[in-house]
Amino acid sequence: MNDNQLLRYSRHILLDEIDITGQEKIAAAHALVIGAGGLGSPAALYLASAGTGKITLADHDTVDLTNLQRQILHTTERIGLSKVSSGKQTLAAINPDIEIVALDERLDDTRLHALMQTATVVLDCTDNFATRHAINRACVAHGVPLVSGAAIRFDGQISVFDPRDAASPCYACLFPPDQSFEEIRCATMGVFAPLVGIIGSMQAAEALKLMMGIGTSLAGKLQMLDALSMEWTTIKIRRDAACHVCGAH
């Protein structure tokens, strides 16, 4: 770590729990951020500013005027540009010393499994169950911790699913893929702008802790926020021995 980096990350290094050792672990980490929208924006911004060595940002959408109320990676001038190209510009401006890979594509199972080969942690910042389950399956198969966030209207939730821990449930334990859940999208229901900032920032915090191996993660817990009352509810999640994804692992 050079003098400029020591200065840039000095406020992290001052923390006994992080110090130079923790900051070097962040620099050696690869974060896969899937979704460059409301959740992915603050999550990727904090990962970049914290010095995550490699960030892969994946999204197949383009910047739209309706995104700008909450998706802080993007600007008015970039309407029509791919979200990952816009995001890469923003992240590079914040921290030119890190590697940023922009994937303008919808990740299928094959691609997810390939990306898991080098990922330290995965942040699910998507908005549909099919993609979430595909990400979860790949994380379980490769033993990569998953930080999952969601937000709609005034309701947010976050959890960590860590297949390295034998007691940790996976996403499918909480939301079984054979059960039907109502797909609710921001485009039809709306979302409170700062809510995605709160949840996305928490996703970054959990991911950084996992990179460094410090603190206690949210594995085994689902935290839910009612942003109208700013009240948190925490639910404990148990691993399902009959889970079709992680039950045999």
- Tens of pLDDT, residues 126-147: 998 999 999 999 999 999 999 9
Residue 224 lies in a domain: yes
Overall number of domains in the chain: 1
Which residues carry out catalysis? 186
Q: How many CA atoms lie within 13 A of 103 on its CB side?
A: 16
pTM above 0.85, yes or no: yes
Q: Which domain holds residue 86?
A: 3-236
Class of residue 213 by CB neighbours under 10 A (exposed 0-12, middle 13-18, buried 19+): exposed
Contact at 8 Å (CB) between 172 and 243?
A: yes
pLDDT of residue 55: 98
217 alpha-carbon distance from chain centroid: 14
Model confidence at 249, pLDDT cuts 50, 70, 90, reads: very low
Looking at the domain assignment, is residue 203 inside a domain? yes
* Token representation of residue 213: 């191996």
CATH of the domain at 116: 3.40.50.720
The per-residue pLDDT of the chain, averaged, comes to 95
Single-letter amino acid, residue 87: G
248 domain-assigned: no
Residue 61 lies in a domain: yes
- Residue with the larger pLDDT of the pair 156 and 181: 156
Does 85 fall in a domain? yes
Is the pLDDT at 123 greater than 70? The verdict is yes
pLDDT per residue over 58-86, tens digit each? 999 999 999 999 999 999 999 999 999 99
Q: Are 150 and 156 in contact (CB under 8 A)?
A: yes
> Nearest-CA neighbor of 154 among 196, 104, 211?
196
Q: Decide: 125 and 196 in contact? Cβ < 8 Å.
A: no
CA 200 → CA 6, 101, 148, 205, 230, distances in Å? 26, 19, 9, 9, 16
Mean predicted confidence (pLDDT) in 24-41:
98
Residue 230 lies inside a defined structural domain of this protein: yes
Q: Is residue 246 part of a domain?
A: no
Residue 11 lies in a domain: yes
Q: What is the pLDDT of residue 248?
A: 59
83: nearest Cα among 92, 91, 73, 93: 73
pLDDT tens digit string along 198-242?
Answer: 999 999 999 999 999 999 999 999 999 999 999 999 999 999 999
Band the pLDDT of 117: cuts 50, 70, 90.
Answer: very high
Contact call for residues 25 and 213 (beta carbons, < 8 A)? yes
